[in-house]
Chains A and B, each alone.
Chain A
């Protein structure tokens, strides 16, 4: 997919994230908008996954550790044919499979996540299995910067380096905000690159909204033989909707009809300018 096509996709995904969050009257708006460009490039460029052959033992794995931004994952999976988009009309509704965190009841979801600090260990185990079985699949996991203080992340980071998992790539959606405030004020994890480097990872920085950079960075995997790869994606919480950008209240704020209409107008303009 060309970068122009990817750019149109990103706008389309942002519209849909908002649409279904408004419909459900719930969701993690800011974080879904910060990670959507990453998911766009993963699912439309990088990952070897196929909705019709999702059980293939050779597929690449994507495990979303920051499970709360499930709306981003659901709209991307729907667009990749894992389920009809109309299913998302039921998001968070009584008896729906489409709950507010990733669940294996939804076709295309690898693991049930939502409690933070779980994705990296699950990914390490899956990557070790790939090495044991001499498979070529790769394992990707998306971490939030707010979840990094969970100690289990650092346990897993040690194991990933110990087992030389160059088939593992973690992407940090570094939007610098969490529910209480700036991540640096809540529990500073910077310099996060130095920490992962010290743990034995090969680290690269990208602009998490620059589709070309994201493509090229994923294409360059693994960054070093025998080392796990960490992509620190610098992102903006609420990206794409000006009044949401870097605003704490949109962590899980739901736009009203007027705000929603304004957001769509902005997104239309972005689409035209691609």
Chain B
């Protein structure tokens, strides 16, 4: 399938729904597509998949370690395996299986972290995954991806199915606006420039690209500040070329992520910039080192400044120095 935006049904659905629909599309033509679930077919929107392809879904019950181990065993026998579980449990409880059975053994499992970040909102910190980028970045032989919109999600799922490397994909369950951009190609490890501006750079990932865009519109309208917006969907391998390119003329840089401010996109960008002698003003927006305030995903975003207003305020402060 050609990876252009014209070829997909343009939607504003939850990325989770696009994941499920894409997988069904793929499974129809490929008997080797196997979904492994840990009582997560409902929350993974995979009930229709299970009904249409009962021989291509393996249920292990609420047992994430076994989920990943079984998925690795299936992959080693040639299956294209999507192991689906809430990101919080998948990447913490089954971390050793991810490290050893998937990445180290090079079993090309596609680890699908559903309802990632703070998607579960007021269900609280047990259900939040604010550690997954940090932890998984340190595991060799694993691609880490957080698609921003329905286009990126569909492309990421299709690419993941075909790549012979392990991939971790995480997304939420909120409807996401389609990013309007000239860039209609999608590749792991290549960030997408959503908008170009000469005063400021905002590098965001996953569901924080939308508030970053909102901030850029506010900055433009209210302060005449033109921001470049990058959707950095792949956290690893990180697109260092693009970071260097957007940082080249010294513009202030803000990173935004639905993740701890420790160890994620922001720190990955910061270490690259520092090691390569960039001295741009720099700000990381994410969840601080605390168990989050109670609220919906949107309320938590607003509380910690992952919002049009919050990012706008941070940009104005950063520009002042």
Kindly state the separation between the CA atoms of A162 and B78 in the bound complex, as whole angstroms.
22
Which of A112, A120, A126, A163 contacts B77, CB < 8 Å? Answer: A126
Kindly state the separation between the CA atoms of A130 and B105 in the bound complex, as whole angstroms.
19
Q: Is B63 an interface residue (CB 8 A)?
A: yes
Q: In the complex, how many residues of chain A place their beta carbon closer than 8 angstroms to a beta carbon of chain B? A: 31
Stretch of B65-73, B166-174, B247-255 lying at the A interface: B65-73
Which of B60, B73, B79, B100 contacts A115, CB < 8 Å? Answer: B100
Q: A122-B76, A126-B76, A128-B74 are in contact. Are A155 and B63 (CB under 8 A)?
A: yes
Q: Is B61 an interface residue (CB 8 A)?
A: yes
Residues of A within 8 A of B58 (CB): 128, 163
Q: Is A149 an interface residue (CB 8 A)?
A: no
Q: Are B66 and A129 in contact (CB under 8 A)?
A: no
Q: Is B96 an interface residue (CB 8 A)?
A: yes
Which of B34, B60, B72, B106 contacts A122, CB < 8 Å? Answer: B72
Chain A, residues 120-143, CB within 8 Å of chain B (1/0): the string is: 111111111110110000000000
Q: In the complex, how many residues of chain B place their beta carbon closer than 8 angstroms to a beta carbon of chain A? A: 28
Q: A125-B76, A129-B73, A129-B78 are in contact. Are A159 and B105 (CB under 8 A)?
A: no
Which of B66, B69, B97, B106 contacts A104, CB < 8 Å? Answer: B106
Looking at chain A's contact residues, the main secondary structure is: helix
Q: Are A121 and B76 in contact (CB under 8 A)?
A: no
Within the complex, what minimum Cβ distance (angstroms) separates B141 from chain A? 11
Q: Are B66 and A128 in contact (CB under 8 A)?
A: no
Residues of B within 8 A of A104 (CB): 105-106
CB nearest to A124 among chain B residues? B70
Residues of A within 8 A of B70 (CB): 121-122, 124-125, 128, 156, 159
Q: A123-B73, A129-B78, A155-B60 are in contact. Are A112 and B66 (CB under 8 A)?
A: no
Q: A104-B105, A127-B73 are in contact. Are A159 and B100 (CB under 8 A)?
A: no
CB nearest to A157 among chain B residues? B66
Q: Is A191 an interface residue (CB 8 A)?
A: no
Residues of A within 8 A of B (CB): 57, 104, 110-115, 117-118, 120-130, 132-133, 151-152, 155-156, 158-159, 162-163
Residues of B within 8 A of A (CB): 34, 55, 58, 60-61, 63, 65-66, 68-79, 96-97, 100-101, 104-107
A-B contact pairs, 18 of them (CB 8 A): A104-B106, A110-B76, A115-B96, A120-B69, A122-B101, A125-B77, A126-B74, A126-B77, A128-B70, A128-B74, A129-B76, A129-B78, A133-B78, A151-B65, A156-B66, A156-B69, A156-B70, A159-B61
User: Given contacts A124-B70, A128-B70, could you give 6 more A-B pairs where the C-beta distance is less than 8 Å?
Assistant: A104-B105, A118-B100, A121-B97, A125-B73, A126-B74, A132-B55
Please give me the 5 A-B residue pairs with the lowest Cβ-Cβ distance, nearest first: A125-B73, A121-B69, A129-B77, A155-B66, A155-B63
